[in-house]
Amino acid sequence: QRVFINPHEIIDLLNEVHAHEILIDGIFNGDPHPGNIFLLKNGKIGLIDFGQVQEFSLSRRLKLAKLIVLLAEGTKEEIVQHYVSMGTRTRYMNPYVIEKLARLGFDRDDPEICEGKNAQLFFEGLGKLDEIIQLPDGYLMAARVGILLRGLGTWLQLPHSTAQKWAPVAKKLLDKYKDVDEQSLNSSVLVGYS
pLDDT at 190 over 60: no
pLDDT in tens, 42-79: 888 999 888 889 999 999 999 999 999 999 999 999 99
* Model confidence, pTM: 0.91
pLDDT at 189 over 70: no
Q: What is the mean pLDDT of residues 5-26?
A: 96
Q: What residues have CB less than 8 Å from 99, skipping those under 6 apart?
A: 76, 79, 80, 83
C-alpha–C-alpha distance, residues 56 and 52, integer Å: 13
pLDDT in tens, 164-178: 999 999 999 999 999
Residue-level pLDDT at 86: 98
Which amino acid appears at position 65 of this protein? A
Residue-level pLDDT at 2: 77
